[in-house]
Each structure stands twice: as structure tokens, then as C-alpha cells.
Amino acid sequence: MKLVILTLFAVSLLTYSLGLFKPPVDDGLEKRIRIARTEVNNINFGGCGYNAWYVKQYLDKKGIKSNLIVVWKPFHIMNEVDGVYVDKNGFFSSAYLGWLNHDTITPDRLQQWLNDSSRWNKSFNRSDTSRLKQIYME
């Protein structure tokens, strides 16, 4: 199963890198994701929910309809825009999640989870959320 997921991830990343697939969002989001990935420590070890929250706020501000997605195993939160998935690593085609158990969640549900620190990996420093907000909301 892990090999299948890694293969789908690699194919998705390769098609994006080669320009074979263009995400349905503006270049500003791509730039912000890159900044968040390099400036916010452990964003993918307990910070994915906050990253998804601020990506959602950014997309809403731009008038771009998006969904919040939870992957249950391994637990991970990301965004979806027109069948393209977005997280701190960038953009992925729908094939990436094809084999994973995932659901759409509401912003209210994510907010409840974010308020429960026991849900998240302790490696992520929750005070870094102010930097994430600055990156996505400037």
C-alpha cells in the first residue's frame, strides 16, 4: 500500500514539475506554499491543519471555491480545488488520494480540531501559526 501511495505521489509531483498539469489557482498561492514550507518548522508534523486553514482563507479571499480534506491514515489535512489537492508540498492530481481513505470536512470541524492540541504532533510549534497567517493573508 505504501509503495502505491509513494508511486502515485511521485507521478503526481513529476507531472506537476514538468508542467504537464497546471493547478487551477493563481501563482501567488504556489509562492506562499513554498515560503511556508521553508520558513515554518515541522509544518508537516502537526502543522498541516493550520496550513490547510490558512490556504482555505487565502482561496476564499480570492473567490476560489475549495474544500478541506482529511486523510484518515496517515492523519493529514489538505485542500482541494477542482480535483487538485493542495498541501505544504504543493499541488497533486486526484490520483494521489485515490487509494487513501479521505473525506471532506467543514471549516467548523477543522476549527474544532485545531483547538484540540492533543490531536496534533507536538513537533509543530503552535506559535508558528502567526507566521502562517502572515504568509497566506498578506
Per-position pLDDT tens, the chain of length 138: 455 445 545 555 555 555 545 566 777 898 999 999 999 998 888 999 999 999 999 999 999 999 999 998 888 999 999 888 888 888 887 766 777 788 999 999 999 999 998 888 889 988 889 999 999 998
Cβ-contact 81, 64 below 8 angstroms: yes
Lookup: cell for 128: 508558528
Whether the pTM exceeds 0.85: the reply is: no
Lookup: cell for 108: 467548523
Gyration radius (Cα) of the chain, Å:
14
In this structure, what are the phi and psi dihedrals at residue 115, rounded to the nearest 5 degrees? -75, -10
Question: 66: domain range?
Answer: 2-137
pLDDT at position 44 is 81
As for how many domains the chain has, the answer is: 1
Strand partners, 68: 79, 105
